[in-house]
Structure 1
């Protein structure tokens, strides 16, 4: 019979394994900022990050006991191991938060207590820091130290704490009402028409004026909204759409939810999920963090209520322009395969694919993978499923604009702005992956 062990010893042992795994994966040790001189986690790492966000001892009181039985020991170790990549991302965000703190001239407070939880939130929302990390971190610092009255992430947390039951019931009510235009027999013509409109829009032969007209036609057709609503109905509208466009989806086709049809999101969750699976708290929190001027945003209660309603809207987005942009993004993302470039149906996707494949870090990785010298399986998987980070980032960007600019039309967001957005998302994702690839290559001594 396995004897009980002190939880501090269990956490210490799991942390040391996490450090070793992170060094093996990245070639560096970002967890240093959360680790004590003895190699175990800092006391505040446990207090501010592991206990509330990884072990979640309020929801799992058995993991908060001074002595853990065998089952609790294994569960705690598994939770820490599963969260290790996210904790490593949080450590990188913590370093970025400290840089922005110094730039803002802030000196008060304990930075570990203030920033460890926020760094973990940023890791959940964004993954590792990317090109926009300084701006995101600066906004977070401003949120912590100079929050807009009534519109900080802390205000959101307090509001959800006080009204959880009522809001959960409201979410159930919204999802109990079936949205219109979701009948399966209506989907086939929508898919066929979408394929034709997308083909005309994404050809490389169109002039700017012609492309603008085609973009307006797609946006005004109602088809993006119909297909966005179909995500909540039985069947697989994205698979039907890609097949109608003659795009080979492969073994891991693009998706916006882990389930088909997309299911009701949670009110609160920290899980790493696809766009339509994001919790309401995550969606509102991201809007708050990314907002340049929170004074222009509605009150927290109004934002949460609107987000609950929006969770059942086409693509979980408001505004036909943003819904159409998401539809275009799905079709483009399905054709991006940096490691193994494939023939593309649409000229715009082919151009993006060529530029991605030509980047030095991708070409280097592809060369070694094709030589059966794997850099890391995780990186290969990420590059093979390029659609996943691409659609996650695109949806977040469009969601932010749909919250604040739902009435934007094709005159303000024209086809050139659309193509610029699609290209910018591809570059942003590729830059994020480059740092991971570079660390793996250095570790391999190549």
Structure 2
């Protein structure tokens, strides 16, 4: 019997079913949609899946690919939610207005308010006459719940000269206490066995459990402290797969600032940069420790193997590395590392992407890229897919580590590994579309100039 997580002639990707159902809802959802009318990624992640589809209660809708009956059921659920979603969009507009009026700047409004707006829509429907007052109360309550767990509070914490010096000394001491370098061969070998079990409706977690119990994540993290090659069966791939830009990670610094646009590789980030990402992206910020506690815990975590405390999360880095080493979006067939069930599932999905097909043609074309390099840069990303994959995977695992959310079985680990692959693919698709739109606009301007 074919797996529900694999495509067939009858099954359709769940993401595509959601996209089509959303577009049929019509106007009134602008604040929850992207420029092309598709639901925002956060809309799907925070509203559609957990609050409308509810796959934990409807396991038949939890698979990546749905049969005709399941696809029809999901479509019906989205259509039935039209009125509530329209009210959600209206409430979100009001909460953003109240946020500006109150001078609240911390956090991403979508992360903070999407689910709360859906609750308000469920309770009140469309915003009533006193909705402005309700919105102000909600924004204040949520700001109070965050309780200083903000980037501004982090800056204030590290602005103290004595605390800064003490943290720097603690980092130096923790770095010196690291254990000796270990051999990662066993961890990488067992990772292939684990990835072979992925994709089944109920994957066997025994090999995954053995990796966690044997501390293979720790062993692999310790192995990265010396330059190594050939770990993944490909000499040209560094063992760290882009988690650091140097041959090996260096001792973390405290830091005083961060910018989303210029964040370094994960294992090269300062204490400030690591926590900056957590505070910027966390949808459950009220569940975090205070900023002072966060900083204290991050000292030990940043010096731990792979920059993580929990062993199940470190093992997932190893699995992700084994998966990333065999990613082959362009279908070159050059990698012998991509031979497991997990690799075949991810690679086949990527190789069907129209943007990937365009990039594949570019790599074999005798003509240079005439667009100033934009599409060539995107094609290069597909030649080195492990960099974006490992960077995004580590960030998600770090967030789970800070929140104390381990991955208890292989099904959970695979859901995250596969989800990261989908996220990277969708991000690449969006960047290709953006580049093509820019090229089209440039070409149109050139035609207009020639016609003038």
TM-score (norm 1): 0.62
When residues 171 and 369 of structure 1 are mapped into structure 2, their CA distance, relative to the original with a 3 A threshold, is same
Matched-pair contact (CA < 8 Å) for 2:325–2:386:
yes
Tell me how far 1:306 sits from its aligned partner.
0.6
When residues 137 and 248 of structure 1 are mapped into structure 2, their CA distance, relative to the original with a 3 A threshold, is farther
Q: Which residue is 2:295 aligned to?
A: 304
Matches within 5 A, 1:67-216: 102-107=93-98, 109=100, 134-135=110-111, 146=143, 148-162=146-160, 163-175=163-175, 177-180=176-179, 182-183=180-181, 186-187=182-183, 191-203=184-196, 211-216=204-209
Q: Which residue is 2:350 aligned to?
A: 356
Matches within 5 A, 1:29-428: 102-107=93-98, 109=100, 134-135=110-111, 146=143, 148-162=146-160, 163-175=163-175, 177-180=176-179, 182-183=180-181, 186-187=182-183, 191-203=184-196, 211-231=204-224, 233-236=225-228, 239-242=229-232, 246-247=233-234, 249=236, 254-268=241-255, 269-270=257-258, 271-342=262-333, 343=335, 344-371=338-365, 372=367, 374=369, 376=374, 377-405=376-404, 408=406, 413-428=408-423
In the alignment, structure 1 segments of 5+ residues that lack a partner are: 1-98, 123-132
Are 1:437 and 2:424 an aligned pair?
no
Tell me how far 1:345 sits from its aligned partner.
3.2
Tell me how far 1:137 sits from its aligned partner.
8.8
Instruction: Output the aligned Cα RMSD.
Output: 3.5
The 2-side partners of 1:373 and 1:441 are apart by 16
User: What secondary structure, in the 3-state scheme, does the structure 2 residue paired with 1:311 have?
Assistant: helix
The 1-side partners of 2:292 and 2:238 are apart by 42
When residues 225 and 137 of structure 1 are mapped into structure 2, their CA distance, relative to the original with a 3 A threshold, is farther
When residues 223 and 240 of structure 1 are mapped into structure 2, their CA distance, relative to the original with a 3 A threshold, is farther
Could you tell which deviates more after superposition, 319-328 or 430-439?
430-439
TM-score (norm 2): 0.61
The 2-side partners of 1:100 and 1:240 are apart by 54
After superposition, give the CA deviation of every residue in 1:174-214 in whole Å (9 maximum; x if it has no partner). Answer: 22x2312x23xx42xxx332233122212259966663111
In the alignment, structure 2 segments of 5+ residues that lack a partner are: 1-89, 116-137, 444-452
The 1-side partners of 2:399 and 2:265 are apart by 16
Matched-pair contact (CA < 8 Å) for 2:157–2:292:
yes
- Tell me the matched-pair count: 316
After superposition, give the CA deviation of every residue in 1:326-382 in whole Å (9 maximum; x if it has no partner). Answer: 111011112113235434233311321121111122112322443235352321222
